[in-house]
Chains A and B, each alone.
Chain A
């Protein structure tokens, strides 16, 4: 699994890009004016999980590896990597040119200190649970890092591509300044952060990835997305991140603007609580699954902007959802299942949702409410402020919940938290199933891609059949740009990292 071919290709690509950059820099604007509606909530890359925080921090910090648009692992700080045959040792060779924005070289000691910080419970690192298999870290020289794992852990490499596993300077860790100052090795330096107002980034001239396409990025926080569109019409904003499909679908109507739509890994789901009666009964959960027309939910709540999905949203592993249990609506079957479960007259339940998160939450709840009414289920919709919702969600304090859950590039990292017996979010899923647990463990240690696909395919089929949750659809990530902005590559993870090579023609 050594990344030699990739290195050669990226060398060629880099050379090509430098050429392109030289041509377009002459005609490019110094600063990219960008806007988004939600701002970052902090600067500590190990603690932040908000979408907007990650989007900002991945321009400043770098992990060892990153994912490209096809979700393939490509170099970041590490030039190459290799698993040992028993998949219990993972060795990285670092890029000797990698430098932090304070001028210091990125060394193996920094990598070791960063992962030790993530694993230290006192840090409160968000991604700690993904790295628990790390038994020890060796640094034989300044550019080599060896992770010794307590058990084979294939998904750990994908987990290391997340900015939550960013490499930070050991000196800053010692000084206790992580989160106060942003000192990474990424393409941009954060010059100013005025929370919920603006960010100013300037190009990192020492970036090992080569010259950036613009000299800097100025990000304005415009809380209303209709105002973002207006600012783009008035050419005040070159590039924007949009969340609301209603606003995004207006972008193509503007002659000077371009909409980038990319299917994402996150999924819209109706979470049932299988610990609460009558969802404790398999037939009731299956009846709910059969009574829901997923396509109608998508069409009504999200203007059809998305795709009906099963549990696996990763393109390389996803199967045809129409082959999954009851993905074609069957109200008669649903009624029959309800009757067999002794609930022919239906029941009442409450569904919770977060106001505006996602923007389609209330509409999804309303469509589901009307669909379930057909089999006698009376749903009471309770919309909550996001933090109140999160609090109830984490306690598993709901009958049903409308959720938009984040996706990961590896199904184990994505779902072990819910569907393994030791999962940290077992309390949220409230469902223990031996088959799901063993399939997860099998997929974790499997190194053969075809075998992994088969294992997770089985996992998906079983999960849809036992229906603890009703997966609905995946939507798109939206970015809007002026047509003179060139070089942005949208990806299923939603990363804005390719802004590093974006140019703005005058």
Chain B
């Protein structure tokens, strides 16, 4: 409990650091909301016109003043107003987040459901042709860029069969579950394929390590069945690196899978951050990055807690 409290206490400091970094970084990039909106036509503005637009976008004050105002808002639960959406940043993020969360969960389920059994299968058949086959497939999965796989799936379905799940207008799960799953299954497969490949490789190597440990040999010599040795004795220990990998990958996915969202035209968090950067929607970029960082910290904490469940020998927070 003390460990949990200590970890939670570090959250505000980390978030403060993240917010300063993002605030400065986005403003150091040349161009601003005015050039993002007007493009080269911004050159036609008179100084007074530019000043008026800067005031409209809230970028007419010195950086420190802008940051202070924003920070005060954050303490009051207000992440600012998005100039693109004309709405509170938090509302916009929470509107897009369910899609991203659902996509991340589906990809994770696909990856673990495929990757862990495949890794165990390969480890138990070490250096046999079937192990080699799994490793080759995993290598292909890891080295295939998600946009290639995504476009390949889209092309095959549309050109070969004339079908495609509805793109663009996303339907939330609670409105129409079947249509929602139809829209998300292909992007989830695309993301899950690469993720499953990583899980397979790490499960295999972790399982090989564990299978050569003394306690596994002891279990075997005591007459435990092969199935029991693998699933009861070896797997829980082999899962620790898988949990670590899954936590990191899941954290990334919660930040939005930009390329897959782009290819499948899903209005998720990743695409929104990308568009916000391109449109120099400072408040939205800052709000999103803060939100993503918060998610990452929560997941890291959950991963650490999961270690304790998997291996009772681990005591968090002890020197």
- Measured CB to CB, the residues of A under 8 A from B are 35, 41-42, 47-50, 121-126, 128-129, 179-180, 194-198, 218, 220-224, 226-227, 229-231, 233-236, 385-388, 390-394, 403, 405, 417, 424-425, 427-428
Q: Which of A230, A385, A427 has the most CB of B within 10 A?
A: A230
B42–A224 CB distance below 8 A? no
B37–A41 CB distance below 8 A? yes
B162–A394 CB distance below 8 A? no
A126–B43 CB distance below 8 A? no
B155–A230 CB distance below 8 A? yes
- Minimum-distance CB pairs A-B, first 4: A220-B168, A387-B31, A230-B158, A234-B164
Residues of B within 8 A of A223 (CB): 262, 265, 271
Complex CA–CA separation, A194 to B163 (angstroms): 26
Q: Is B129 interfacial (CB-CB < 8 Å)?
A: no
Q: Given the known A-B contacts A121-B46, A218-B169, A424-B43, are A388 and B31 also in contact in the complex, defined by CB atoms under 8 Å?
A: yes
Q: Is B44 interfacial (CB-CB < 8 Å)?
A: yes
Q: Which residue on A lies nearest to B57, using beta carbons?
A: A124
Q: How far is the CB of A448 from chain B (nearest CB, A)?
A: 29
Residues of A within 8 A of B155 (CB): 226, 230
In B19-61, the 8 Å CB interface with A consists of 29-32, 34-46, 48-50, 52-53, 56
B169–A49 CB distance below 8 A? no
In B121-178, the 8 Å CB interface with A consists of 151, 154-155, 157-159, 162-164, 166-170
Identify 11 residue pairs between A and B in the complex whose beta-carbon atoms are under 8 Å apart, listed by A's number.
Answer: A124-B56, A218-B169, A224-B263, A230-B157, A231-B158, A231-B164, A234-B158, A234-B162, A387-B278, A388-B29, A394-B43
A49-B41, A50-B39, A221-B168 are known; give 19 further A-B pairs, CB within 8 A. Answer: A41-B84, A49-B38, A198-B267, A218-B169, A222-B168, A223-B271, A226-B151, A226-B155, A229-B158, A231-B167, A234-B162, A234-B163, A385-B29, A385-B278, A386-B39, A388-B29, A388-B31, A390-B35, A424-B43
Q: Is B86 interfacial (CB-CB < 8 Å)?
A: yes
Residues of B within 8 A of A49 (CB): 37-39, 41
Q: Which residue on B lies nearest to A43, using beta carbons?
A: B86
The 8 A CB mask of B161-202 against A (1 = contact, 0 = none) is 011101111100000000000000000000000000000000
B265–A220 CB distance below 8 A? yes
Q: Which residue on B lies nearest to A256, using beta carbons?
A: B162
Residues of A within 8 A of B250 (CB): none
B35–A394 CB distance below 8 A? yes
Q: How far is the CB of A496 from chain B (nearest CB, A)?
A: 17
Residues of B within 8 A of A424 (CB): 43-45
Q: How far is the CB of A37 from chain B (nearest CB, A)?
A: 9
Q: Is B68 interfacial (CB-CB < 8 Å)?
A: no
Q: Given the known A-B contacts A226-B151, A227-B264, are A391 and B30 also in contact in the complex, defined by CB atoms under 8 Å?
A: yes
B163–A42 CB distance below 8 A? no
Q: Is B279 interfacial (CB-CB < 8 Å)?
A: yes
Residues of A within 8 A of B84 (CB): 41-42, 195-196
B168–A198 CB distance below 8 A? yes
Residues of B within 8 A of A417 (CB): 43-44
Q: Is B275 interfacial (CB-CB < 8 Å)?
A: yes
Q: Given the known A-B contacts A230-B158, A385-B278, are A220 and B167 also in contact in the complex, defined by CB atoms under 8 Å?
A: yes
B52–A386 CB distance below 8 A? no
Q: Which of B41, B164, B166 has the most CB of A within 10 A?
A: B41
B38–A224 CB distance below 8 A? no
Complex CA–CA separation, A128 to B31 (angstroms): 22
Complex CA–CA separation, A128 to B157 (angstroms): 49
Q: Pick from A48, A122, A197: contact of B267, CB below 8 A.
A: A197
Q: How far is the CB of B259 from chain A (nearest CB, A)?
A: 9
Q: Which of B34, B264, B275 has the most CB of A within 10 A?
A: B275
Q: Which residue on A lies nearest to B280, using beta carbons?
A: A387
Q: Given the known A-B contacts A124-B50, A224-B263, are A47 and B278 also in contact in the complex, defined by CB atoms under 8 Å?
A: no
Q: Given the known A-B contacts A41-B84, A222-B167, A424-B44, are A227 and B53 also in contact in the complex, defined by CB atoms under 8 Å?
A: no
Complex CA–CA separation, A213 to B263 (angstroms): 31
A180–B43 CB distance below 8 A? no
Complex CA–CA separation, A424 to B279 (angstroms): 23
A405–B44 CB distance below 8 A? no
Q: How far is the CB of B97 from chain A (nearest CB, A)?
A: 14
Q: Which of A49, A122, A229, A233 has the most CB of B within 10 A?
A: A233
Q: Which residue on A lies nearest to B52, using beta carbons?
A: A122
Q: Given the known A-B contacts A121-B52, A387-B30, A394-B43, are A227 and B265 also in contact in the complex, defined by CB atoms under 8 Å?
A: yes
Residues of B within 8 A of A229 (CB): 158
Q: Given the known A-B contacts A121-B52, A124-B52, are A390 and B164 also in contact in the complex, defined by CB atoms under 8 Å?
A: no
Q: Is B272 interfacial (CB-CB < 8 Å)?
A: yes
Residues of B within 8 A of A180 (CB): 86
A124–B53 CB distance below 8 A? yes
Q: Which of B29, B40, B53, B84 has the most CB of A within 10 A?
A: B40
Complex CA–CA separation, A47 to B32 (angstroms): 15
Q: Is B75 interfacial (CB-CB < 8 Å)?
A: no
Complex CA–CA separation, A403 to B39 (angstroms): 12
In B231-278, the 8 Å CB interface with A consists of 262-265, 267, 271-272, 275, 278
Q: How far is the CB of B305 from chain A (nearest CB, A)?
A: 36
A391–B35 CB distance below 8 A? yes
Complex CA–CA separation, A129 to B38 (angstroms): 14
Complex CA–CA separation, A49 to B36 (angstroms): 10
Q: How far is the CB of B113 from chain A (nearest CB, A)?
A: 27
A50–B271 CB distance below 8 A? no
Q: How far is the CB of A38 from chain B (nearest CB, A)?
A: 10
B40–A197 CB distance below 8 A? no
Q: Given the known A-B contacts A196-B271, A223-B265, A235-B162, are A390 and B40 also in contact in the complex, defined by CB atoms under 8 Å?
A: yes
B49–A124 CB distance below 8 A? yes
Q: Which residue on B lies nearest to A34, using beta carbons?
A: B168
Q: Which residue on B lies nearest to A223, using beta carbons?
A: B262
Q: How far is the CB of A420 from chain B (nearest CB, A)?
A: 13
In B193-217, the 8 Å CB interface with A consists of none
Complex CA–CA separation, A128 to B45 (angstroms): 8
B31–A391 CB distance below 8 A? yes
Complex CA–CA separation, A121 to B51 (angstroms): 9
Residues of A within 8 A of B159 (CB): 230, 233
Residues of A within 8 A of B279 (CB): 41
Complex CA–CA separation, A386 to B262 (angstroms): 18
Q: Which of A124, A221, A227, A229 has the most CB of B within 10 A?
A: A124
